[in-house]
Amino acid sequence: MTRQDTPKDRFRAVGIIFFILGLGTLLPWNFFITAIPYFQARLTTGTNSSAGLQGNSSGAQPGPAQDNFNFNNWLTLLSQLPLLLFTLLNSFLYQCIPDKVRILGSLGGNLLLFILTAALVRVEVPPQPFFAITMGSVWFINSFCAVLQGSLFGQLGTLPQGYSTLFLSGQGMAGTFAASAMLLSMACGADAQTSALSYFITPCVGTLVSIVCYLMLPQTAFFRHSLERTCQHDPGNEVETKAGLLDPEERSGDQPDGLQGPDKPMLGMANGTVRTVEINLESPGKGAFPLHNGGATGAWNRSPGPKGPSAFSVLRKIWLLALCIVMVFAVTLSVFPAITATVTSASESRQWRKFFTPVCCFLLFNVMDWLGRSTTSYFLWPEKRLWLLPLLVGLRFLFVPLLMLCQAEPRTRLPVLFRQDAWFILFMLLFSHSNGYFVSLTMCLAPRQVLPQESELAGALMTFFLALGLSCGAGLSFLLKALL
């Protein structure tokens, strides 16, 4: 078989499928945090007929219940802790549970939990049980998402780099998709209960589409060929990923002459997705995080050899970048959404106050974060002066007091210095763009600091520190909320 005989990705079907799967992996987190006004209203009134997504008559944020339950803080913490734990657990699960079971099981679990969340819109539940049920759903949904992401990135390791880019782009679109769904449900003119129900039905449909798309993957000749080629090029690889999708008769095939296996991207978790410059769908190229030698291998597919790299030696080379990724997410998750979602508008317009949080907090953050990640497609400053990076990342700590001194309610200690909406919008623009840029920058630069054979371990370590930063920020949000 020659290169010309390689099956083509007809109609870009595989690329579209992985874009949709990327979107589906981060839909749960984004749909929950964007619906914070709905959950706060339910916890305040204890009834499903509350203002919810529509906002209350005054446009103010809920009061005592918000203080008693600390919903924003618990939502953030119970989203990130399972992400950290199950990211580690997935490195063991892949050896004993096929990818097909892990991926379909995770998507099925998410679908059932979103159906439960949508059903609760129509059910009268007292605040305390409603809070407990919601937090339980958040924990299990994010556990499923951690397993789902790790498993899908394992399968992306068999494909050219362009498919990793599309998957990560889909993840980057999840926040904007959730914020847009929120705005549409609010603007449709329906009552609050119908608006909330339509909002939570959207991720149910999205998850169901993701399941259908994943089941379609083995039907494409291009995807089957990529799996077969990877198996033949590296017989020492753990091949349960392929076995989970293909029947025994489909796993045979000839080795393409003169071709090398596609490079494998490192893992991007939760909000830590990265976009790269080129999207070349049908030819192997650089991994999602380019190396100086143009190669990367997937830590989730390959069993380390007897002389594998030492985690300590690799950490010594990337510790500065690992520290930066922890700092970036510690700052971001400490105030978003725990503090930023409680900032209210100073405008007298009732309509603007109603849309202020969905637009200026969630939609603005996700759009600017995506643009920040895209910026690294054009330059990677300060690539040549890495010692500047922790200083630049450290400047983001200034956003913590700046956002806390905006009109966040309720507050009992700190004064409000920035009452005008323009200040909050300006801070959010810089805050979200810098988050996206530094996340993408650190994850792009990490593999360049190590030898080719160490890249997979570097990717695993950066993934761990990324999740650690998310968890640290979620924990810190409790302290900052108490200081308001």
Q: Is the peptide bond before 82 cis (omega within 30 degrees of 0)?
A: no
Residue 427 is predicted with a pLDDT of 98
Six token digits for residue 70: 């600390």
Distance CA 118, CA 201 (A): 6
Domain count, the chain: 1
Six token digits for residue 450: 């190590």
- Residue 251 in this model has a pLDDT that exceeds 80: no
Segment among 26-30, 102-106, 261-265, 365-369 with least mean pLDDT: 261-265
Quick check: is 354 in a domain? Answer: yes
Quick check: is 2 in a domain? Answer: no
- At 5, the pLDDT band (50, 70, 90 cuts) reads low
Quick check: is 259 in a domain? Answer: no
Distance CA 433, CA 441 (A): 12
**Residue 383: closest CA among 466, 444, 452:** 444
Distance CA 339, CA 267 (A): 29
Identity of the amino acid at 383: E
- Residue 97 in this model has a pLDDT that exceeds 50: yes
Residue 159 is predicted with a pLDDT of 81
Q: Is the peptide bond before 382 cis (omega within 30 degrees of 0)?
A: yes
pLDDT, tens digit, 9 for 90 and up, residues 292-330: 323 333 333 444 444 567 888 989 999 999 999 999 999
Range of the domain at 417: 9-253+266-483
Q: Is the peptide bond before 410 cis (omega within 30 degrees of 0)?
A: yes
Please name the residues in contact with 205: beta carbons below 8 A apart, sequence gap of 6 or more: none
Quick check: is 29 in a domain? Answer: yes
Quick check: is 3 in a domain? Answer: no
pLDDT, tens digit, 9 for 90 and up, residues 141-162: 999 998 898 788 778 777 886 7
Query: Quick one: average pLDDT of 161-169?
Result: 77
Segment among 42-51, 167-176, 221-230 with least mean pLDDT: 42-51
Query: How far from 308 is each of 8, 92, 292, CA to CA, in Å?
Result: 35, 18, 20
Quick check: is 261 in a domain? Answer: no
Q: Considering all CA atoms of the chain, what is the largest pairwise distance in Å, rounded to the nearest integer?
A: 72
Distance CA 221, CA 228 (A): 11
Where are the strands (E) in 28-113, listed by range?
none
Residue 238 is predicted with a pLDDT of 42
Quick check: is 258 in a domain? Answer: no
Six token digits for residue 111: 């679908």
423 vs 439, higher pLDDT:
423
Distance CA 134, CA 128 (A): 10
Query: How far from 48 is each of 67, 181, 302, 337, CA to CA, in Å?
Result: 20, 20, 50, 23
Q: What is the CATH number of the domain that holds 16?
A: 1.20.1250.20
Distance CA 384, CA 388 (A): 9
Quick check: is 351 in a domain? Answer: yes
Work out the angle at residue 309's Cα, subtended by the Cα atoms of residues 308 and 315, and round it to the nearest 5 degrees: 155
Q: What mean pLDDT, rounded, does the chain reach?
A: 79
